[in-house]
Amino acid sequence: MGLVYPLPSIKTASGGKEIHLESLLGKTVLVIGGGGREHAIVDALRRSPQVEKIYCAPGNAGIGLQAFNVPLKDTDVEGLKAFALENEVDLTVVGPEASLAAGIVDAFRAAGLKIFGHTKAATAIESSKEFAKKLMEKYGIPTAGYCSFSDYEEALAYVSARPFPAVLKYDGLAAGKGVVIAQDLDEARKALADMLLDHSFGQGRVVVEDFLTGPEFSFLCFVDGERVYPMPLSQDHKRAFDGDEGPNTGGMGAYTGLPFITPEDREFAYKEILCKAASAMVAEGLPLSGVLYGGLMKTPQGIKVIEFNARFGDPETEVVLPLLKSDIYDIFEGVASGTPLEEPVWDNGVTLGVVLASKGYPGHYEKGFDISGLDTVDAQVYHMGTAVRDGHVFTNGGRVLMVVSGGKDLADARQKVYAEIRKIGCDNLFYRSDIAHIAFE
Ligand code: AMP
Ligand code: GLY
């Protein structure tokens, strides 16, 4: 498998699971994507005794230590389908929303290939804000009140008559950049002009939402029609700098073991949000068959949906999947085939992970800086944006690496992660030093 060094299995309060490479036999899996999320998926698949060979398209330097990287773009549906047919892939697992929105699941299924992920039509729960809002309204799923517009003047008149801040969301996939929290009329005017006059993201509408407050968290579930299998809750850190300052990013770190969520909160979110959404999609004739990600907020009026995603979160996946004790191949295969699963078993320890990003990210940044010391790190290192040349790993993206550890509690996991990060040498990386701060306030 081209292994240069084995990544250590994660240690949590109840202990990590041993991996025996010699016991791997059988299935061939193709993972679509090339970030930290896909590295964590590949890593979990490597723990399955049924999986013999893993391909990852396009993959990255770290994934290449555990799988065969395939130089195909994640939206090259025809190329990926031809690859899967030619290489007798038993199961394909989709990471990015772009692949789902490009119709990869529909195309694979039509070719008789087994694939884990939602159809293009069902992916609307993420790709169209208006679809998601209408669904929640129709089925009584708690979320912020909203109104949607295609006309700039009408949108501006509506926003002007309401209190600020105003939440403006472009109705389509916008790579995480389609949400503006406007603090005053000037900002709102600029954002609306950008979205509805200049069409910076495309021809979509704009959803204007009530502004909610409270801590956010991510609730990921495996969903097969009405069957909803919850994963441990996690919290992302979207802002670039300590103290939740600076611009919004794809996520600078995450952890499990949320101190602000009670068992009752979790039960409410599971039943009244995730299960209801899954049933609603069945009722709409768009059954889900993959991951449903609830981006939720614990507001003073209860838990509400900020957004749904139709895929694993990144960086949430990197802290959630290391806790999975069940065989992930069985889960992916069961959901892809529509067969009921045994309830997945999770380690009840905690995990914490910190993202190392290129200086300048999420704005302009340079690539190509050498990274050293990775093989000395005694924690899980997931590669997010790396490539390899002449045996040297170098930076090749905005978010570059994520270092993840378990621990007996969050303080222990946090101490371990930051100690291990100091072993990594690179001239162009920065990271937040306060991941999971809410647990220590
Ligand atoms: P989204 O892409 O919909 O997750 O929005 C990005 C971020 O904007 C969220 O993670 C929240 O921090 C913030 N946000 C979105 N909607 C609201 C809302 N209705 N009220 C307050 N903040 C929001
Ligand atoms: N962590 C945010 C996302 O995956 O959308």
Length of the chain: 441
CATH number at residue 363: 3.30.470.20
- The DSSP secondary structure of 378-405, one letter per residue, reads -SEEEESSEEEETTEEEE-SSEEEEEEE
**Residue 80 sits in the same domain as residue 56:** yes
**Residue 307 sits in the same domain as residue 424:** yes
E strand map for 278-379: 289-299, 302-309, 350-358
- Nearest Cα to Cα of residue 329 among 17, 53, 145, 21: 53
**Cα 62 to ligand 1 centroid, rounded to whole Å:** 31
From CA 253, how far away is CA 250, in angstroms rounded?
Answer: 10
In a domain, 3, yes or no: no
Residue 316, ligand 2, Cβ within 6 A: yes
**Residue 223 sits in the same domain as residue 203:** no
Could you read off the pLDDT of 309-362 as tens digits, one per residue? Answer: 999 999 999 999 999 999 999 999 999 999 999 999 999 999 999 999 999 999
Residue 234, ligand 2, Cβ within 6 A: no
Q: Which of 217, 316, 318, 320 to mutate to test the pocket of ligand 2 (most atoms within 8 A of CB)?
A: 316
Structural domain count, the chain = 3
CA quadruple 262, 268, 181, 293: dihedral, nearest 10: 100
Q: What is the pLDDT of residue 199?
A: 87
Residue 313, ligand 2, Cβ within 6 A: yes
Structural element, H or E, at residue 141 = none
In a domain, 80, yes or no: yes
**Cα 216 to ligand 1 centroid, rounded to whole Å:** 9
Question: Looking at residues 54-71, what average pLDDT do you find?
Answer: 97
**Residue 279 sits in the same domain as residue 414:** yes
Pick from 186, 209, 232: which residue ends a domain? Answer: 209
In a domain, 435, yes or no: yes
Nearest CA to ligand 1 atom 19: 211
CATH number at residue 75: 3.40.50.20
Nearest CA to ligand 1 atom 5: 179
**Residue 95 sits in the same domain as residue 237:** no
- Nearest Cα to Cα of residue 100 among 373, 381, 310, 372: 310
Assign 293 to helix, strand or coil: strand
Which runs of consecutive H residues, i.e. helices, occur in 193-349? 263-268, 276-283, 316-320, 328-337
Could you read off the pLDDT of 90-121 as tens digits, one per residue? Answer: 999 999 999 999 999 999 999 999 999 999 99
Q: What is the pLDDT of residue 49?
A: 94
Ligand with the closest atom to the CA of 295: 1
Q: Are 248 and 176 in contact (CB under 8 A)?
A: yes
In a domain, 140, yes or no: no
Could you read off the pLDDT of 194-207 as tens digits, one per residue? Answer: 999 988 888 878 99
**Cα 269 to ligand 2 centroid, rounded to whole Å:** 18
Stated pTM of the model: 0.92
Ligand with the closest atom to the CA of 306: 1
Ligand with the closest atom to the CA of 212: 1
Residue 174, ligand 1, Cβ within 6 A: no
Q: What is the pLDDT of residue 170?
A: 87
**Residue 101 sits in the same domain as residue 153:** no
Nearest CA to ligand 2 atom 5: 313
Q: Which of 131, 181, 303 to mutate to test the pocket of ligand 1 (most atoms within 8 A of CB)?
A: 181
More confident residue, 24 or 355: 355
**Residue 113 sits in the same domain as residue 163:** no
**Cα 428 to ligand 2 centroid, rounded to whole Å:** 24
- Nearest Cα to Cα of residue 313 among 167, 126, 114, 188: 126
**Residue 291 sits in the same domain as residue 397:** yes
